[in-house]
Structure 1
Amino acid sequence: MTPIRSNTETIPLHWSLLKQGEASALESLYRLYANALYNYGSKFSADQDLIKECIQEVFVAIWTRRAQLGDPQNVKNYLFKAFRLSVFKKANLLQKQVSYEETEHYPFQASLNIEEEMITAENNAALKERLEITLNKLSARQREAIFLKFYEAQSYEEIAEIMNITVKGAYKVMGRAIDALRDLLSKEDFFLILMLFSIKTDHFS
């Protein structure tokens, strides 16, 4: 699913109306962000029902707690953070763990969509396989930071908020990820993956 970029001028209105009890505002927020949340969730788990359940839980919780809601600076970030927490809690419950505790060891599958214009079709599959094998050698935290930065166009401040780390930590995670890619890839493949990341960022600018 392709993430939907929202019209930032309309989001405060939707949020305000939701807090006032307008069910149509909740529906509008769902339409704006459900695809992006599903895409994010699919990196954590292949269980489609679990992902959909977590998305539903986030929006049900928002509606139930609407009278106590504040005004987040970035609604998408708020939803991503709440959804991420829901996914981790759900995974822990399924594994029969009593308490929720995030660790470095959680699943997050990275994938690439390589534009055909950049490389001939016969080499596309081989290149994608090489790059994805390398990405999956990174830590889950590094893969998630790369996804948020280059596929969701999040700033380092936003990545830190979603992943519940400091801004300095977000820079450190990303820096280590890029360093690892540089060490693991050939110069040609490393240059190409940076080009792909740049293209992804430009698509959202």
Structure 2
Amino acid sequence: MESLYKLYSNSLYNYGSKFTNDQDLIKECIQELFVTLWTRRAHLSEPANVRNYLFKAFRLSLFKKGNMIQKQVRYEEAEHYAFHASITIEDEIIIGEDNAALQSRLQATLEQLTARQREAIFLKFYEGLNYEEIAEVMDISVKGAYKVMGRAIDALRDKLDHNDFLILLALFSSKLFR
């Protein structure tokens, strides 16, 4: 259990920080997740993918604790469902004064995406999950994961000029191959 905690706690914290700025809530949910796993270990079966299981369980715990889920309300329709994606642009990629202006444009464009689209982008490009894993974590179908990602990429392409879009794709690619 300790090795699982050490391996995944930072990623879970990073993921949780995209939903809320409440650091205590994030830490509490991570702690509660691992305590629950420990106390219920005799009753749990081994998941097919431990990372996906932890992300999904953490996400659900965070939503419940943060009163972010209401019964019978679809995530896409919930105004309080907020997933905040952020971009860090490394100095090696963009040099000079244009860096701040570009970062501002890219961030503003990401903020125009829906919360589900930002979450899918984060899971794909920052956590390196494949579409099946994204679907599992977000509790949607694999087809739905492709649709959310496709719509996010289309929206980014529409909202950014060609050069900014290419830079954003390069940044996403560098996240995949780090």
Corresponding position of 2:142: 167
Corresponding position of 1:52: 27
Change (3 A) 1:168 1:195: same
Length-normalised TM-score, structure 1 = 0.82
Q: 2:66 aligns with which of 88, 91, 97?
A: 91
Length-normalised TM-score, structure 2 = 0.94
Corresponding position of 1:103: 75
Corresponding position of 1:62: 37
The separation in 2 between residues aligned to 1:100 and 1:151, in whole angstroms, is 30
The separation in 2 between residues aligned to 1:27 and 1:102, in whole angstroms, is 35
How many residue pairs match? The answer is 175
Corresponding position of 2:152: 177
Answer yes or no: is the 8 Å Cα contact 1:145–1:170 preserved in 2: yes
CA offset digits 1:45-90 (Å, max 9, x no partner): 0000000011011101101110011111211111000000001101
Corresponding position of 1:114: 89
Residue identity opposite 1:89 in structure 2:
K
Q: Which runs of 5+ in 2 are unaligned?
A: none
Change (3 A) 1:81 1:182: same
Alignment of 1:21-40 (within 5 A): 26-40=1-15
Greater Cα radius of gyration, structure 1 or 2: 1
State the Cα distance separating 1:121 from its structure 2 match: 3.3
Aligned-pair RMSD on alpha carbons?
1.5
**What secondary structure does 1:181 align onto?**
helix
Residue identity opposite 2:29 in structure 1:
C
Runs of 4+ in 1 over 4 A off after TM superposition: 97-102
**What secondary structure does 2:82 align onto?**
coil
Corresponding position of 2:17: 42
Corresponding position of 1:133: 108
| Aligned residues with identical type, % of pairs | 66
